[in-house]
Amino acid sequence: MSIIKAVEQITQTGAAKPWYQSRTVWGALVAIAATLLHGFGFDLGSDLQNQLADLAMTLAGAAGGLVAIYGRVKAQAPIRGK
């Protein structure tokens, strides 16, 4: 199987997720922030960095749910079954 077909299969099966649900993305953002803060004299330990990444994922998930609810409330057309 080619790489392109594998990526298409993963994308079509719903295995792909939004960037804000990725622990890797949030971990990288926290690591970047920790590095910048360290440059200004603040030191974040690895435990705090992990906690911040978990908190960011939780908040992003909650925000996504709220946006979905808001979108449904403001939608002009009703949801219709088959």
The tens digit of pLDDT for each residue in 12-68 reads: 655 677 887 787 888 888 888 888 888 888 888 889 888 988 898 888 888 888 888
Q: How far apart are CA 72 and CA 64, in angstroms?
A: 12
Confidence class for position 8, pLDDT limits 50, 70, 90: low
Q: Domain containing 56: what range?
A: 19-74
Q: How many domains does the chain fold into? A: 1
Q: How far apart are CA 82 and CA 63, in angstroms?
A: 29
Burial code (b: 16+ CB inside 10 Å, e: under 16) for 60-79 equals beeeeeeeeeeeeeeeeeee
Q: What's the average model confidence in pLDDT over 72-79?
A: 79
Q: Quick check: is 4 in a domain? A: no
Q: Is it the case that residue 7 has pLDDT exceeding 70?
A: no
- Which carries the bigger pLDDT value, residue 13 or residue 70? 70
- Which carries the bigger pLDDT value, residue 55 or residue 75? 55
Q: Quick check: is 44 in a domain? A: yes
Q: Quick check: is 25 in a domain? A: yes
Q: Quick check: is 7 in a domain? A: no
